[in-house]
Structure 1
Amino acid sequence: MGFMKISLISIISLCLISCAPAKSSYFGEESWVGLTESGAEISFSKLEKEEIALNVYSPDCVPCWKEIPALNLLYAEIESQFPSKALYMVVDPYQIVPDISDDRPFGEVYQLAKQRMEIEIKNRKIQVPIVFMKPPFRVKEGGLITGTPETMLFVTKPMRLYYNFLGSISEQASADVIRKDAKFNFFRYQFGMESL
């Protein structure tokens, strides 16, 4: 009886281990593709990074403007110390170009959005690389991203969302003050940049 009990437990354990669902994309993020300012295409699921942070930005969002110093600080640190990670600022071209309908071709909307973001980069001193997202990525009610600012953290291989920051990471302007901001440090912890 004892041998049968051990065998049955072993068989059930093996089934549970081998039948466990594979980690996968939950929101279609595997298909997210965008264009850089230079027109190069980026497929986030194919980047050679272990983790990716995507900050969703809009030129009409005041908290987005206030968050830029913190994002620039994070970007510089990630670039210099964490080669397996990446931070991008992403925009929905259909959301940031006024009076554009969804049926306009992406190429036209991309050019208009690019012009608008060139002004943002200059005026707001954005250092984080910007990616203009292609559909199906959208900032809209009822979708994954319903507003800005929002910063999503992903693991890759497969690309999968594991944390979503709603609102600004920090709205402080001084680097010294930003480094002491609890939410800023919580982001760094969640993104594997430090331990608490």
Structure 2
Amino acid sequence: MGFMKASLILFISLCLISCAHAKSSYFGEGTFVGVSASGEEIIFANLEKDQIALNVYSPDCVPCWKEIPALNLLHSEIQNKFPNKVLFMVVDPYQIVPDITDELPFGQVYQLAKERMNLEIKNRNIQVPIVFMKKPFRVKEGGLVTGTPETLLFETKPLRLYYNFLGSISELSNKESIEKDPKFNFFRYQFGMESI
């Protein structure tokens, strides 16, 4: 009787393990691809990182400008202390270039968006690497990202969104104030940079 009971428990356990849902993406994030300012294509699902943060930026967004000192601080800390994480500033080139249509090829839109972002880098001291996102990523009503600023946090293998940080991470401007900002520290906690 003991052997039958142990065999039944083992059988049920194996069924439960094999029936468990695998991690999967819900928003098509596994297909996210962008192009860096240097022209390198970045396939986010193939990056050898444990976590990826994509901060969605627009040159027309005042809270985005105010958030730059906090992003620069995070980027520096991630580079120096967390080699298995990465932070990118991403833009939807079709959203940041005025008076264009979706029919215009990505290459042309990328060049126009790159010119606009080069001015942003210079004028706003952006130190975070910028990536110009290809479709299907879009900033639009009814999409995954409906406005800016917004920061998407992903775990990898497979690439999967696990947290969507709406609004600015911090709009404070000096290092000491930013490091005390509860929103900034909440982001750091969510991104596995510290424990509470």
TM-score when normalising by structure 1: 0.96
Counterpart-to-counterpart distance in 2, 1:166 and 1:120: 22
Output one character per residue of 1:34-87: Cα deviation in whole Å (capped at 9) or x when no partner: 111111111111111111000000001111000000000000000011100000
User: Residue 121 of structure 2 aligns with which residue?
Assistant: 121
Q: Following the alignment from structure 2 to structure 1, what is the Cα–Cα distance between the partners of residues 71 and 54?
A: 11
Q: Which runs of 5+ in 1 are unaligned?
A: none
Paired amino acid for 2:150: E
1:109 is matched with 109
In the alignment, what sits opposite 2:66? Answer: 66
SS of 2:25's partner is coil
Deviation at 1:7, TM superposition (A): 3.8
Superposition deviation, residue 21 in structure 1: 1.6
Q: 1:156: how far off?
A: 0.8
Q: Find the aligned partners of 2:8 and 2:128 in 1 and give their Cα distance.
A: 55
Q: Following superposition of structure 1 onto structure 2, how do residues 30-179 of structure 1 map, counting pairs within 5 Å?
A: 30-179=30-179
Shift of 1:2: 6.5
Give the AA of the match of 2:25.
Answer: S
C-alpha distance in 1 between matches for 2:120 and 2:14: 55
SS state of the match for residue 153, structure 1? strand
Amino acid at match of 2:111: Q
Distance 1:139 1:2 in 2: 61
Q: Distance in 2 between the 1:27 and 1:4 partners?
A: 45
> For each residue in 1:126-159, what CA deviation from the matched residue of structure 2 results, as whole angstroms up to 9, or x when unmatched?
0000000000110111111111000011111110
Query: 1:117 offset after TM fit, Å?
Result: 0.4
What is the distance in 2 between the residues matched to 1:46 and 1:110? Answer: 22
Q: Give the whole-Å Cα distance in 1 for the aligned partners of 2:131 and 2:148.
A: 15
Q: Which moved more, 1:18-27 or 1:136-145?
A: 18-27
Shift of 1:110: 0.4
- 1:112 match: secondary structure: helix
**Identity across matched positions, percent:** 77
Displacement after TM superposition at 1:27 (Å): 1.0
Q: Does 1:180 align with 2:180?
A: yes
- Deviation, structure 1 residue 5: 4.9
CA RMSD of aligned residues (A): 1.2
Aligned residue pairs total 196
Query: 1:73, 1:10 → 2: CA distance?
Result: 51
More moved, 169-178 vs 22-31:
22-31
